[in-house]
Structure 1
Amino acid sequence: MLFGIAALVPALFFVVGMIRDRRRLGNAVWLGVTLVLLVLWLVFRATALGGWSAEVVGWSVVVVLLGLGFVLPTALLANGVLMVRREGFGLANLLSLLAGLAIFGVVIAFGFATARTGPVVDAVIGSLLIVAAYVAFLFVSLLLYSVLYGSVGRRTGFDAVVVLGAGLIGDRVPPLLAARLDRALSLYRREVAAGRSPLVVVSGGQGAGESVSEAVAMRDYLVRRGVPDELVVLEDRATTTEENLAYSARLLRERDWTGRAVAVTNNFHVFRAAVLARRLKLRMQIIGAPTAWYFLPSAFLREFAALLTHNPVVHTVTCGLLVGLHLWLTLTP
C-alpha cells in the first residue's frame, strides 16, 4: 500500500510536466520513479495476497537477473559486431559492443560482492554497482520516455517542415537520411492535400568526405519527388543538431514566417532534438522517421550519453550522495 501511495507523487509531477512541456528531461525521471514504485507495489501486493509465494518471487528475480546479466549483454555484443560489419569501425558504432562488455563487468563485480572479500572491497564494489544501477535507471527511463514522446503529439497542421541533416556518402543520400526525407515528404503531401503550402527547410552543412552540402543533396532529393523548388529553403551551415534547429528557425524568422513548425529526424533522435529545441526556446515539435533495427541500440546509447551531458552536475552530485551514503552505512562500525 505504501509504494502505491508513494507512486502517486512522481506520477503527479509527470502529468504536470507533460502538460507544461513534453520536452522536459525531468518528465523521463518522474516516469521512471513512478514505474519503479508501481512494480514494487505490485510485487508486495501480490505477495501479501498470497498470489505469489516467496519461491515465485525468488525465481522471478533470478529470471530478471539472468536476462539483464547474460541475455542483454550477449545481444549487445552481437549487435556491436553487426554494427562494425555494416557501418564500419568507429566509436559511435562500437557503443553497443562496449555496453555489452560493461554489463558483463558489472555482473563479475556483483559476483565478487557476493563473496567474502572484506569490508573495503565490498564497499568499493557496492559503490560501482550503485553507479551502474543509477545509469541503468536513467537509461531505461529516457528510453521509455523517448518512445512515449515520439508516439504522442500533433501530426498535422504544420506550416513549415524542417529536415535535420545526417551525413552524405559523397553526394548521395544514405538510407538514414533518406528515411528523414521520406517522412518529411509524407508530411508535406499531407499538408498540401489539406490546402496548405508549407515551406520545407533542409538543414545540413558540408562535412569531410562530402562533395556537396547535405542541404543541397536533400533539396535535390525532394525536388525530384515533386516538392516545388521555390518551397525548399536551404540551410547549409549547420554541423550539429543544435545548429540545425537554431539556424533553421533563424531562416524562417528572416522570411517573416509565422505558424507551426515541425522538425523531422530519426526516431532514436527525437527526444534529444526536442530537448535542444526547448533549450533554444523554439516552439517546434519533433517527429521521428523509422530506422533500421540493427542501428537502434548504438543510436539510443549515443543519444543517452549526449543527454547525460545536459545536466552533468546533477548526475555527479546524485551519484556522489548515493555512494557516500553507501560507504557510510558499509564502513561505519
Structure 2
Amino acid sequence: MIAYAPAALFFVLFGVGVLRDRRQFSNAVFLGIAVSLLSLALLTELRRAPSLVVEGVAAAIILLPAFGTVALVWFLIANGMTMIRKEGRRPANLLSLLAGLGIIAVTLLLLAALATGSRRLAVLAGTAVLVVLYVSFLFVCFVGYAFLYSRHRPHRNVDFVVVLGSGLIGGERVPPLLASRLNRGREAYEKQAARGNPPVLITSGGQGPDEKLPESHAMADYLTERGFPAEHIEREDRSRTTEENLLFSKAVMERAKPDYQCVVVTNNFHAFRAALLARKTGVNGHVLGSPTARYYWPSATIREFAAVFLSHKLVNFGICGLLALCGVLAAL
C-alpha cells in the first residue's frame, strides 16, 4: 500500500485544485503526476504475477512506445500536409508538420549516438530526449485535462454569454470557425432563456488592420440575420487579443451587474487556454467549446499548448535548462 501513497497524495492535490478552481494548469500537472505514479505502483505488483504476464507487460512497454511514435509521426506529418493544402503556409499551420519532423530529428540523433559511440552525440541526444520527454509530459497533461474540462457543463443560471471573436473572411464575413462559436453561444443563450431569464449575449472582437468593420459587429449581424433578438446583444468592439476580449467583456458585465455569472464561448481547441486567461483576468465564468474541423484540431492544439508553455517560461525554461545540465553531468 505504501507504493500507492505518492499517487494518492497527488490525486488529493488534484481534487482540491478542482474544487478551488477548475481553471488552473496545476490541476493538469497534478493529475498527470498522479496517473504516472499510479502506473509505476501498479508495475511493482508484477513481481507477484506469473512470468508469462511479466513478459507480456515488458514486451508491451518496449513495443507500444516504438509503434506509437511511428504512428504519431505519420499522423503529424499527414495532418501538416492537410493544413498546408487547406489553410495555406502560415507558420501557425505548420506546427503539426514541424512537430513530426522534430520527433524524427531527435530519433535520428539518438540512433546516430548509439551507432557511432560518440560521447558528444550521446550528451546531445540524451539532453534532447530529456527535454522532449518533459515537454511531452506537459502536453499530455494539457490535452488530457482540457478534455476533462470540456466535459463539465455548468448548471447554474448565467447573466451573460460571451462569444470570443476571430478573423473575418474578406474583412467583413463570419468564417465557419467563428460561426461555430456563435451557434454554440446561441445554444447557451436559448438554454438559459428557457429557464425564464434570458441572458445578454456579448459579441467580443475589435477591428483588425485588414478588416472593414469590428468583428463584434459582423458577429452580431450574423446572429440577427438568423432571427436572434437584437435587444439581447451587446457589442464589445475594442479588443484585439483573447485577454482583451475577456478584460473588456468583464468591464461590460460588471457595469451591468457586479455579481454576474457568465459563460464564455470559443472553439474547443481554445477552451482550456481561454479558461486559464479567464481566471487570470478575474472573469467569473466557465468556458464552453464549440466544434472544430478535425484536420484543424492538432495544429491548433499544439499552438494553444505552446502559448500556455510560454506563459510560464521562467519555470519551464528553468526546468529544461536543469535537465540539460543533468544530461551533461551524467555524461561526465
Task: Give the TM-score taking structure 2 as reference length.
Answer: 0.94
Q: Which whole-Å deviations, capped at 9, do the CAs of 1:264-306 have from their partners, x for residues lacking one? A: 0011111111111111122121111111111110010000000
State how far apart, in whole Å, the 2-side matches of 1:54 and 1:96 are: 36
* Mapped contact 1:263–1:284 kept (Cα < 8 A): yes
> For residue 193 of structure 1, what is the aligned residue in structure 2?
194
* Mapped contact 1:113–1:126 kept (Cα < 8 A): no
Equivalent runs, 1:121-270 vs 2, <5 Å: 121-170=121-170, 171-256=172-257, 258-270=259-271
> For residue 104 of structure 1, what is the aligned residue in structure 2?
104
* Mapped contact 2:262–2:286 kept (Cα < 8 A): yes
1:34 CA drift (Å): 1.0
AA aligned to 1:285 is: H
AA aligned to 2:126 is: G
AA aligned to 1:103 is: I
State how far apart, in whole Å, the 2-side matches of 1:226 and 1:136 are: 46
Over 3 Å counting, the alpha-carbon distance change for 1:155 and 1:207 in structure 2 is farther
What is the RMSD computed on CA atoms of the aligned residues?
1.7
AA aligned to 1:236 is: D
AA aligned to 1:186 is: E
1:327 CA drift (Å): 2.4
Query: Equivalent residue of 1:309, what SS?
Result: helix
Query: Equivalent residue of 2:289, what SS?
Result: strand
> For residue 94 of structure 2, what is the aligned residue in structure 1?
94
> For residue 289 of structure 2, what is the aligned residue in structure 1?
288
Q: Note the residue ranges of structure 2 that are not aligned, 5 or more in a row.
A: none
Query: Equivalent residue of 1:211, what SS?
Result: coil
Query: Equivalent residue of 1:82, what SS?
Result: helix
Q: Note the residue ranges of structure 1 that are not aligned, 5 or more in a row.
A: none
> For residue 27 of structure 1, what is the aligned residue in structure 2?
27
2:10 pairs with 1:10:
yes
State how far apart, in whole Å, the 2-side matches of 1:26 and 1:51 are: 39
State how far apart, in whole Å, the 2-side matches of 1:192 and 1:153 are: 16
State how far apart, in whole Å, the 1-side matches of 2:211 and 2:255 are: 28
Task: Give the TM-score taking structure 1 as reference length.
Answer: 0.94
State how far apart, in whole Å, the 2-side matches of 1:12 and 1:143 are: 21
Over 3 Å counting, the alpha-carbon distance change for 1:163 and 1:52 in structure 2 is farther
Over 3 Å counting, the alpha-carbon distance change for 1:98 and 1:155 in structure 2 is farther
AA aligned to 1:174 is: P
2:30 pairs with 1:36:
no
Greater displacement, 286-295 / 248-257: 248-257
Over 3 Å counting, the alpha-carbon distance change for 1:327 and 1:53 in structure 2 is farther
* Mapped contact 2:190–2:198 kept (Cα < 8 A): no
Percent of aligned positions that are identical: 41
State how far apart, in whole Å, the 2-side matches of 1:112 and 1:81 are: 28
Runs of 4+ with >6 A deviation: none
1:114 CA drift (Å): 3.2
1:46 CA drift (Å): 3.4
> For residue 321 of structure 1, what is the aligned residue in structure 2?
322
* Mapped contact 1:156–1:187 kept (Cα < 8 A): no
Over 3 Å counting, the alpha-carbon distance change for 1:273 and 1:144 in structure 2 is same
AA aligned to 2:166 is: A
State how far apart, in whole Å, the 1-side matches of 2:93 and 2:3 are: 40
Query: Equivalent residue of 2:311, what SS?
Result: coil
1:90 CA drift (Å): 0.5
Q: Which whole-Å deviations, capped at 9, do the CAs of 1:115-167 have from their partners, x for residues lacking one? A: 35233321221011100100000000011011111111404521100000021
Query: Equivalent residue of 1:288, what SS?
Result: strand
* Mapped contact 1:70–1:104 kept (Cα < 8 A): no
AA aligned to 2:293 is: A
Number of equivalences:
331
